[in-house]
Amino acid sequence: MNNFTFYSPTYFVFGKDTENEAGKYVKRFGGANVLIHYGGGSVVKSGLLERVEKSLTESGIRYKTLGGVKPNPRSGLVYEGIKLCKDENIDFILAVGGGSVIDSAKAIAAGAKYDGDFWDFYKGKVIKEAIPVGTILTISAAGSEGSSGSVITHEDGMLKRSAGGDVLRPVFSILNPELTTTLSNYQTACGATDIMAHVFERYFTNTKDVEITDRLCESVLLTIIKEVPRVIENPKDYNARANIMWAGMIAHNNICGVGRDQDWSSHKIEHELSALYDVAHGAGLAVVFPAWMKYVMRNAVNKFAQMAVRVWGCEMDFEHPEKTALEGIHRFENFLKSIGMPLTFEEIGAKENDIPEMVKKLMGENDKLGSLVSLSAKDVENIYRLAL
């Protein structure tokens, strides 16, 4: 196991009707002049936004609202939010929504405390200061409610990039599984795929003797495999949704990734798909991850075989461990298909002709990608082609 530091200061409020306590927690963490940041009409139609506004008002908290966040959140709204925060002296941002809303709120939070272009942070500049962010989660997926990261697409060139820093971790997150019961099966499945991908990026490592985090990763995967079919069969299953929601947080606050090298090449490969075609991130990951697994598997056969046995229940073939590893990947594909996820370029509207441009945009800033296996531009192209 590698040396590590781990800092996870978020205060979690979990359970039914907890969104009605938003004002209490904003006040507890110092907010007096709040920006409520949210996405589309569902937050309004469901009455959630009204309940949140009522809670803030009853706590004597002033607020402004900024809606319109889209999946794969864009830079234009971030710039608008930064200006609003500076003009109105906002001292707290409350993100009401899923990962896209929370990521956008984090970008605004960092940009509002910075004199330059917030995009500098997405090009590698260290984030030293940010407005405090709280969240009210409406979809189990990105894990942004407990993570230090944010992903934004810049509309100039449609570049999808990430930034991070502990100052971006939400100071509190309200998690009510009931708020996810209105999601479609497709949205639920996309979120579950994202959760699994966050685990895989940590699980597939060259670091030795990391049994505790291996087992944590495996338990999150097994939870998703058990609970997602239950939710698809019965969208109102509160306990199944509760387990998925907490799994999503655990998958990405890095408790599963400490002490080990992490890969993240599949996420970066997928970002080019969702930036270009505006597909759901989880759907793009469902296309990319099995292709990446097949491409790199022979460089880490024992790790893939371990996943196949422990997670997918495969029988170990000690003479031919690569057969066990491949069977595990096939079972992962079958699971994705069973919950309605795409597996090919064609299913998400991606085009073979765009592969060279995606590789160029991705590798223009990287000579190599990944840590489990170091990928060249040609390797990335081959992975895209495996997904055709």
What would the pLDDT profile of 236-281 be if each residue is shown by its tens digit? Answer: 999 999 999 999 999 999 999 999 999 999 999 999 999 999 999 9
Task: Identify the pLDDT of residue 48.
Answer: 97
Instruction: Check whether 367 has a pLDDT greater than 90.
Output: no
- Range list for CATH 3.40.50.1970 in the chain: 11-179
User: For 113-155, how does the pLDDT look when each residue is reduced to its tens digit (9 = 90+)?
Assistant: 999 999 999 999 999 999 999 999 999 999 999 999 999 999 9
Task: Identify the pLDDT of residue 41.
Answer: 82
User: For 164-174, how does the pLDDT look when each residue is reduced to its tens digit (9 = 90+)?
Assistant: 999 999 999 99
Residue 336 CB neighbour total at 10 angstroms: 23
Q: How far apart are CA 386 and CA 290, in angstroms?
A: 9
Q: How far apart are CA 92 and CA 30, in angstroms?
A: 8
| Domain 11-179 -> CATH class | alpha beta
Task: Identify the pLDDT of residue 336.
Answer: 98
Averaged pLDDT, 296-300 = 97
Task: Identify the pLDDT of residue 40.
Answer: 83
User: For 221-245, how does the pLDDT look when each residue is reduced to its tens digit (9 = 90+)?
Assistant: 999 999 999 999 999 999 999 999 9
Q: What angle do CA 11, 195, 232 make, to 5 degrees?
A: 105
pLDDT band for position 364 (50/70/90)?
A: confident
How do 62-66 and 92-97 pair as beta strands? unpaired
CA distances 244 to 38, 222, 326, Å, are 22, 11, 27
On whether the 184-386 domain is CATH 1.20.210.10, my answer is no
Contacts of 124 (CB under 8 A, 6+ apart): none
Instruction: Check whether 365 has a pLDDT greater than 80.
Output: no
User: For 179-216, how does the pLDDT look when each residue is reduced to its tens digit (9 = 90+)?
Assistant: 999 999 999 999 999 999 999 999 999 999 999 999 99
Averaged pLDDT, 54-80 = 97
Averaged pLDDT, 281-292 = 98
Q: Which residue has the higher pLDDT, 367 or 80?
A: 80
Closest among 202, 354, 197 to 273, alpha carbons compared: 354
Q: SS3 of 364, please?
A: coil
Strand partners for 153: 74, 160
Chain mean pLDDT for the chain: 97
Instruction: Check whether 33 has a pLDDT greater than 80.
Output: yes
Contacts of 207 (CB under 8 A, 6+ apart): 1, 2, 259, 260, 261
Q: How far apart are CA 369 and CA 240, in angstroms?
A: 36
pLDDT band for position 85 (50/70/90)?
A: very high
- Range list for CATH 1.20.1090.10 in the chain: 184-386
Task: Identify the pLDDT of residue 82.
Answer: 98
Averaged pLDDT, 366-381 = 94
DSSP letter at 315 equals P
How do 149-154 and 159-164 pair as beta strands? antiparallel
